[in-house]
Amino acid sequence: MTLPLLTATDVAKSYGPVVALRSANLIVEPGQAHALLGANGAGKSTFVKILTGVIGAGHGAVLMNGEEVRFSSPEQARRGGIASVYQDPALLPDLTLRQNLKLTRTPLDEVEKALEQMGLAGLDLNELVRDVSLPFLRMIDLARALAHRPRLLVLDEITAALPTDLAATVFEVMRRQTDSGGSVLFISHRLEEVVTYCDMCTVFRDGKDVAAFVPREGGENRIVQAMLGDAANLVREGGRRSVQDLTAVAPRLRVEHVAAGRELVDVSFDVRPGEVVGVVALEGQGQDILFEALAGDRRFSSGEVLVDGERLVARHPAAAIDRGMVLVPADRATALLPQRSIEENLALTLYRRGRSWGPIPGRAVRTKVQNAIDRMSIDTRAAAQARRLSGGNQQKLTIGRWLTAGFKTLLLFDPTRGIDIGTKHQIYDLIREEADNGAAVLMYTSELREIALVADRVVVLYRGRIVAELPAAADEEELLSAAHGMVPNPADLEVGR
């Protein structure tokens, strides 16, 4: 009997009160292409980071060929036989490819050999990294990982931004690796790839492994079901919808054929006052760019944005804010003033114009701030510095800021990421209240169940375009399938590529 190449038992990791990985078990046999699956936030990335020595495990054991290993750096992991390719290639942009490889002490001849095998021998290693396109950088990263002749090759979302021919190269590399007795741990949101190329899959949900099966036997539907679990049947009574018929109402926000670089291609939709439109997408489908550009933090390369029927060209967030369109960004750290007080955090936007630079009308500001504190029920006991607040309270500050300032269109980017369930429900209630009072809300969420709780309607973004528009009542299976590009007529997707 051969020992498994990799056995992970009860691996767990928490950051303070936030549990990133509850208890993960995974077994990879030699010669196996093993897929690791799960919805956003299921703990896949954390698990991979632990495996490759980027972060330490809080609990549990990892065995390779029956011996316990504990890597404290990616380099140690490589020496131990685990090499990985991450979503973002870790290369210095101002050096050439060759210099980068030397810097990480990668055997150059091995890299060249690997590139040759991949049919990419023509790639000039003397080019500056910033002149090389992202897909080819991933290929270099893959060749670099192969140069270490790993027993386990970890591919984290490597195919996410690859054109078809390069993706085929990756599958060829995977096949060679398994044929020679090595193994692959393959992470992808593209389920058809998993079904076609993987011998086994393990599904993570809420930081735990919930199923392990042969993907070819289960098919995409079983994978989706395992990823969702009971959530598919979760009681929906918490959900509240807009009661009026909004179809006759003129849209507050109308987005027409906007595009930005290669990440966003031709997106059109609209949001009416009183309506919460949910955006569903896997990671990296262009949703972050859509929200940032709507908020004026970056620019669309083409297309039009209309607010109340009038064109908005926002070169700065101030332009969008002046038209009542405000953003709660994905990362609290980009919106919070960590060293300042709750009051200063909440009141910040009140001083955005030059004419509000003078004396602060103390009473008026206090009233507005107190109103936001009350409506968000912010815990003010640690009022002196926002960084001392809990994550949930910090998030309340970034939302509450717009309650003090007032708004008409609210852009929420994953507003409940990493906060506790109680606070989440407060935020859901608030979103519905604001919509009922006439605000238009556009909300991206990485948690599908939130759609049923707050949204009136859903648009699904896949590879930079809207592939489906569904009622919020659509079940999560349908949403998840659409988010994976499994729409009724996938041929439509290829148009214009």
Partner 1 sequence: MSTVSTIDDAATRGRRMGRMLTERPVIVLSAALLVLYVVTGIQDPSLFTAQGIRSTLLLACPLAIMAAAQTVCMLTGGIDLSSAMIANFAAYISANNAGAGPLQSLGFAFLVGAVVGLINGVGVGVFKVNPLIMTLGMSSVLVGVVTVGIVGDGFLSGSSRLLPFVKTVGSGNLFGPIPLNATVLLLVSVALLYGLRRTGLGRNIYAVGDNEPAVRLAGSRVWQVLIAVYVIAGILAALAGLMFSGISGSVGPDQTNSYLLPAIAAAVIGGTSILGGTGGFAGTIVGALILTVLNRLLLGFETSEAVRQIIYGIIVLALAWVYVRLTGQRAD
DSSP state letter for 166: H
Residue with smaller CB distance to partner 1, 184 or 335: 335
Residue with smaller CB distance to partner 1, 191 or 305: 305
Q: Where in 371-410 is the site for partner 1 (CB under 8 A)?
A: 384, 401
Burial class (CB in 10 A: 0-12, 13-18, 19+), 11: buried
Amino acid at 197: Y
Query: Minimum distance between the CB of residue 396 and partner 1, rounded to whole angstroms?
Result: 15
List the one residue from 216, 340, 408, 417 that touches partner 1 (CB under 8 A).
340
Beta-bridge partners for 410 = 326, 441
Query: Minimum distance between the CB of residue 455 and partner 1, rounded to whole angstroms?
Result: 24
List the one residue from 327, 372, 467, 482 that touches partner 1 (CB under 8 A).
327
Concatenating the DSSP letter of every residue in 126-172 gives TSBGGGS-HHHHHHHHHHHHHHT--SEEEEESGGGG--HHHHHHHHH
Residues 6+ apart with CB under 8 A from 80: 64, 69, 71
List the one residue from 339, 364, 381, 490 that touches partner 1 (CB under 8 A).
339
With CA atoms as reference, report the closest residue to 228 among 13, 45, 42, 415. Answer: 42
Query: Minimum distance between the CB of residue 87 and partner 1, rounded to whole angstroms?
Result: 22
List the one residue from 108, 214, 318, 364 that touches partner 1 (CB under 8 A).
318
**Token pair belonging to 84:** 């990985």
With CA atoms as reference, report the closest residue to 320 among 429, 236, 405. Answer: 405
Residues 6+ apart with CB under 8 A from 67: none
With CA atoms as reference, report the closest residue to 392 among 368, 347, 426. Answer: 426
**Token pair belonging to 413:** 């980017």
Residue with smaller CB distance to partner 1, 223 or 321: 321
Residue with smaller CB distance to partner 1, 336 or 389: 336
Count residues near partner 1 (CB under 8 A): 33
Query: Is residue 416 a contact point for partner 1 (CB under 8 A)?
Result: no
Residue with smaller CB distance to partner 1, 321 or 448: 321
Query: Is residue 133 a contact point for partner 1 (CB under 8 A)?
Result: no
End-to-end, the C-alpha distance of the chain in Å comes to 49
DSSP state letter for 86: -
Binding segment (CB under 8 A) for partner 1, from list 34-42, 239-247, 253-261, 346-354 = 346-354
Binding segment (CB under 8 A) for partner 1, from list 66-74, 316-324, 420-428, 439-447 = 316-324
With CA atoms as reference, report the closest residue to 275 among 484, 471, 65. Answer: 471
Binding segment (CB under 8 A) for partner 1, from list 56-64, 140-148, 196-204, 330-338 = 330-338
Query: Minimum distance between the CB of residue 412 and partner 1, rounded to whole angstroms?
Result: 14
With CA atoms as reference, report the closest residue to 232 among 245, 223, 242, 244. Answer: 223
**Token pair belonging to 5:** 């190449």
With CA atoms as reference, report the closest residue to 8 among 64, 84, 89. Answer: 64
Query: Is residue 312 a contact point for partner 1 (CB under 8 A)?
Result: no
Residue with smaller CB distance to partner 1, 322 or 447: 322
Q: Where in 454-483 is the site for partner 1 (CB under 8 A)?
A: none
59-64 β-sheet, strand order: 67-69, 59-64, 6-15, 18-28, 208-213, 200-205, 33-38, 183-187, 152-156, 82-85
d(CA 24, CA 37): 12
With CA atoms as reference, report the closest residue to 206 among 392, 449, 398, 384. Answer: 449
Amino acid at 300: F
List the one residue from 348, 382, 383, 493 that touches partner 1 (CB under 8 A).
348
Binding segment (CB under 8 A) for partner 1, from list 24-32, 232-240, 351-359, 477-485 = 351-359
Query: Is residue 364 a contact point for partner 1 (CB under 8 A)?
Result: no
Residue with smaller CB distance to partner 1, 249 or 384: 384
Query: Is residue 352 a contact point for partner 1 (CB under 8 A)?
Result: yes
List the one residue from 278, 329, 392, 400 that touches partner 1 (CB under 8 A).
329
Binding segment (CB under 8 A) for partner 1, from list 29-37, 40-48, 266-274, 336-344 = 336-344
Query: Minimum distance between the CB of residue 171 and partner 1, rounded to whole angstroms?
Result: 40
Give the three-class secondary structure for 299.
Answer: coil
Amino acid at 244: Q
Binding segment (CB under 8 A) for partner 1, from list 22-30, 63-71, 325-333, 408-416 = 325-333
Q: Where in 4-23 is the site for partner 1 (CB under 8 A)?
A: none
Residue with smaller CB distance to partner 1, 200 or 336: 336
Amino acid at 206: D
**Token pair belonging to 215:** 């993907």
Query: Is residue 488 a contact point for partner 1 (CB under 8 A)?
Result: no
Residue with smaller CB distance to partner 1, 338 or 471: 338
Query: Is residue 435 a contact point for partner 1 (CB under 8 A)?
Result: no
List the one residue from 92, 108, 360, 364 that touches partner 1 (CB under 8 A).
360
Residue found by looking up tokens 């919460």 in the block: 276
Query: Minimum distance between the CB of residue 144 and partner 1, rounded to whole angstroms?
Result: 31
d(CA 276, CA 441): 5
Amino acid at 233: N
Contact residues for partner 1, defined by CB under 8 A: 295, 297, 316-318, 321-322, 327, 329, 333-340, 344, 347-352, 354, 356-360, 362, 384, 401
